[in-house]
Structure 1
Amino acid sequence: MKITVTAEKPVDEKMAATVTVASADVDKAIAKTYKDIAKKYNFQGFRRGHAPRPVIDGIIGRESVLAQATNDVLNAIEPMMLEELDVTPVGRVNFGPEDADPEFVAQGADYVVTATIGVRPSAELTSYDAPEINLPPEEATEAEINWQINQLLSYQVTYEDVEEDRAVEPGDIVSVDVENVEGAGHLAGKNRMLVLDGQQIPEQLQEGIVGMKKGEEKAIEWTRTHVHEGEEHSHTFSVKVTLNAIKKAVKPELTDEVAKKFGYDTVDAFKEAVKEEIEGDKKTTIPNLKEDRVVEAVGKLLDLETVPEAYQNEIFNELASEFLAQLQRQNVSLDMFLRARGLKSDDFIADLRVQAEERARQSLALDAVAAKLGVEVSDEDVRAEFEKAGVEDVDASIKEWKDQGRLPAIRDSIRRTKALDWLVENAKVNVVDEVAERAAAAEKSEDAE
């Protein structure tokens, strides 16, 4: 089937296109529909597949036949139209007049149909100069080495009782016995170590423990409400808590003896190994970090007040699918993930929507840069993309994507990659010891307190 496509310039993120199918192809599509129906159903007096058109028209109805033929034609021309226009649709493509079904195909006549295609918004940047970003140095700094060693030493931390006779405060580490009374078997246990940082246990349980003193026993009860399938459900939890002790973390000082626990004879040898490991990691992390920061910076230059809801929803669905696929590979359900992190589903969705808007803005910004640079995508570029993905049969994969109208999405990705490469190559980089800066800021904050 061959088509002719003309399109108008998009307006309000909608592209209007007119598609024409030659009468010969229309007649073939109608003939195929009659043949498919004749094979699918038994018509009395005729062998399967041999019922003539008048019989089929009399039983099935000519309008029903033409409706099916029209649907088949539309399904066939949609990917061809998207390929011809090189456009990635946002949402579904609509054929025919607004709020009306398209006209049926007719025997012996060209089929002309209009299509409305949702497209990404076109936006400008406030500046097309490559951004200025900060990056850590390629060599390991003293602050980075010390931070990494402190992280390793944290695995050697021991916990000692706080000798001071005082009540529990937020942020404390406590040792408690938790007895389940109702619905909280997952929290029960002897000498449980809890960090009261607002992350590990339910907020109401933490509030109940704060203020307790050593040896004190306390009944704590709370209710959690959630919505499932439109209905609100409440669960009551009740426990008895005995405070055994308030604990403090004691991190060992770095000595040769401690270095030996990590497999090194001296502190100097340990530090040198950490330095080499950091610098080895930086060879891969810094290029990736540079790309991430360039994308983040250019996204902030997008001159667009609000990302259209349709495009934002499209990105949101992509992010959600990626995340659920990742959980599935780990054999973890979304509910398990949320419970393990103490997250509410509404908060998780809200955070995902923020990420979707940010990614949408960054994608549109890269589109704008690609357009400004006049980036073009060749067939060789597309082929290289499939080869890079490691597909077994490149030609077959390209044909499959083309037949499905999905190659425009590949070209979009290539344009953005080329735009990003230009931005990364031309970005101004300030080398900053960020770990040292964070350590100084934390020390200043502690002194202020």
Structure 2
Amino acid sequence: MKATWEKIEKNLGVLEVEVDAERVAKAIDKAFNKVVKKANVPGFRKGKVPRPIFESRFGVESLYQDAIDILLPEAYGEAVEQTDIFPVDRPEVDIEQFGKGQSFKFKAKITVKPEVTLGEYKGIEVPAQKAEVTEEELGAELKRLQERHAELVVIEDEPAASGDIAVIDFDGYVDGEAFEGGKAERHSLELGSNSFIPGFEDQVVGMATGDFKDVEVTFPENYQAEHLAGKPAVFKVKLHEVKRKQLPELDDEFAKDVSEFETLDEYKEDLKKQLESRKADELKGAKENAVVEKAAANAEVEIPQAMIDSEIQSMIRDFDMRLRQQGMNMDMFLSFSGQTQDDLRDQMKNDAEQRVRNNLVLEVIAKQENISVSDEDVEEELSKMAETYRRTPEEIRGILAANGSLDSLKGEISLRKTIEFLVENSKEVDAPAEAAEEKSEASAE
């Protein structure tokens, strides 16, 4: 088989392939063995029609498309490997010659992985930061834990305030007519959560137990139910009950209730260590992101749209999976958010492009620095995955092999090792005074 590759633009080229006549004949034979099983010829059972009679009745040309379907994927894969190119999209194939006794000639217009021209990637400067936990941050975490363990207490002699849980009946009308989904009884609504139509919760604030009120609102223009979008509505509301969070006291009893410690001081010390560890992980992640994005920004690469589209699809699949883990699906999310899938794709476009750019640059840096993935690296990763999923490393390897994902795992390990290389070769510098002041003010807030 002969294969030649010629670039016609930066990331676009033409692959010309010629397959010898002997392989064409074998592909036609395979096509005949497939088609003859369904051929109806008087006097013969299905699958028993002699080849000469079949060709005389239907013509050998009737086998060509099936033969091409058999031979083309094989020849294309071999040609890609032979010319050492990396397609990133489906090829546009043009059949130039195919027939009995002839070679098979075709051209494929292909978008390939782009070339990357590296810029500076060693010695990248990143702000020096320490995983220190301030008293304000420790206090905020304790406040959050208080909120989590708060009790709801019924308030009878005070009006509803922001942050309270209002137990209400509501009945909604548009143009004087009730509408589907606009009615509920004894619904618990957290005031200030912004989970209802804008303006609704604000008008419930101030109501007292037993009060009735007409709440007037306007549906947003992008509301998911198009027949209600932008229309004014009136909700007849009755407030049954007001519940307010009662925070537990921060004392030794609280520490005993929420931890294995006997005193609040012991618990605070342990909590501070947890926050320091969490902040260290966050700073490590931020440093990795900074060096990767700076290395990517310093490089030159023209990314094909096909690679961005593919990354967006991958991000949408991941997002859909997370939604399902939360008991939702994509259709429900789009309905609740008033968005379309095109809106979602537009929102993901910049992140997708950055991800593709980062990965392309990291791959080239790995090659430039001879960063390789050893069998020991793979075994270590398999052991970690086995521990996470409570399987044996052999089982994990088998699952990945069956899914064709072992090479992807090696790619992920390579990217991670390359990021570690960039971090090790980066320089920590003191943050500018203005940035340090801004960070201090943000922490105080």
Same fold (TM over 0.5): yes
Judged with a 3 Å threshold, the aligned counterparts in structure 2 of structure 1 residues 438 and 247 are, in CA distance, closer, same or farther, namely farther
Residue 418 of structure 2 is matched in structure 1 by 419
1:267-286 → structure 2 map (5 Å cutoff)? 267-279=264-276, 281=278
Cα shift readout 1:269-291 (whole Å, capped 9, x = no counterpart): 11122134335556766655543
Question: C-alpha distance in 1, partners of 2:255/2:371?
Answer: 56
Q: Which residue, out of 110, 120, 127, partners 2:113? A: 120
Residue 177 of structure 1 is matched in structure 2 by 168
Judged with a 3 Å threshold, the aligned counterparts in structure 2 of structure 1 residues 428 and 411 are, in CA distance, closer, same or farther, namely same
Say yes or no: does 1:294 pair with 2:291. Answer: yes
Cα shift readout 1:85-134 (whole Å, capped 9, x = no counterpart): 454432212222xxxxx134233333232222212333445533353334
SS, match of residue 217 in structure 1? strand
Say yes or no: does 1:200 pair with 2:195. Answer: yes
Question: C-alpha distance in 2, partners of 1:307/1:143?
Answer: 45
SS, match of residue 96 in structure 2? coil
Judged with a 3 Å threshold, the aligned counterparts in structure 2 of structure 1 residues 147 and 207 are, in CA distance, closer, same or farther, namely closer
SS, match of residue 103 in structure 1? strand
Q: Which residue, out of 201, 205, 214, partners 1:218? A: 214
Q: Which residue, out of 26, 34, 47, partners 1:28? A: 26
Cα shift readout 1:343-394 (whole Å, capped 9, x = no counterpart): 63465443233332332232233245345x2647689699769967756596
1:226-305 → structure 2 map (5 Å cutoff)? 234=228, 238-241=234-237, 254-263=250-259, 264-279=261-276, 281=278, 287-303=284-300
| Equivalent position amino acid for 1:179 in 2 | F
Deviation larger for 124-133 or 185-194: 185-194
Question: Which runs of no fewer than 5 residues in structure 2 stay unpaired?
Answer: 173-177, 386-392
| Equivalent position amino acid for 1:335 in 2 | D
Question: C-alpha distance in 1, partners of 2:245/2:440?
Answer: 19
1:27-426 → structure 2 map (5 Å cutoff)? 27-96=25-94, 102-134=95-127, 137=130, 142-157=135-150, 175=166, 177-181=168-172, 182-183=178-179, 188-190=184-186, 192-196=188-192, 199-203=194-198, 205-206=200-201, 217-223=213-219, 234=228, 238-241=234-237, 254-263=250-259, 264-279=261-276, 281=278, 287-303=284-300, 307-338=303-334, 342=337, 344-345=339-340, 347-370=343-366, 373=368, 375=370, 392=395, 401=404, 416-426=415-425
CA contact (8 A) 2:252 2:263 kept: yes
Deviation larger for 331-340 or 9-18: 331-340
Shift of residue 316, structure 1, vs aligned partner: 0.5
SS, match of residue 348 in structure 2? helix
CA contact (8 A) 1:17 1:114 kept: yes
Cα shift readout 1:152-195 (whole Å, capped 9, x = no counterpart): 1222457898x999x98xx7757463412344758745484433
CA contact (8 A) 2:166 2:242 kept: yes
| Equivalent position amino acid for 2:130 in 1 | P
Deviation larger for 68-77 or 284-293: 284-293
Deviation larger for 406-415 or 105-114: 406-415
Judged with a 3 Å threshold, the aligned counterparts in structure 2 of structure 1 residues 159 and 382 are, in CA distance, closer, same or farther, namely closer
CA contact (8 A) 1:126 1:303 kept: yes
CA contact (8 A) 2:125 2:428 kept: yes
| Equivalent position amino acid for 1:423 in 2 | L
CA contact (8 A) 2:119 2:295 kept: no
| Equivalent position amino acid for 2:262 in 1 | D
CA contact (8 A) 2:97 2:105 kept: no
Judged with a 3 Å threshold, the aligned counterparts in structure 2 of structure 1 residues 142 and 124 are, in CA distance, closer, same or farther, namely farther
Judged with a 3 Å threshold, the aligned counterparts in structure 2 of structure 1 residues 383 and 158 are, in CA distance, closer, same or farther, namely closer
TM-score, scaled to structure 2: 0.73
Taking CA–CA contacts closer than 8 Å with sequence separation of 6 or more, which of the two structures ends up with the larger relative contact order? 1
Residue 99 of structure 1 is matched in structure 2 by none
Shift of residue 17, structure 1, vs aligned partner: 1.8
Judged with a 3 Å threshold, the aligned counterparts in structure 2 of structure 1 residues 146 and 397 are, in CA distance, closer, same or farther, namely closer
Question: C-alpha distance in 2, partners of 1:93/1:429?
Answer: 46
SS, match of residue 8 in structure 1? strand
Identity of matched residues, % = 25
Question: C-alpha distance in 1, partners of 2:167/2:132?
Answer: 45
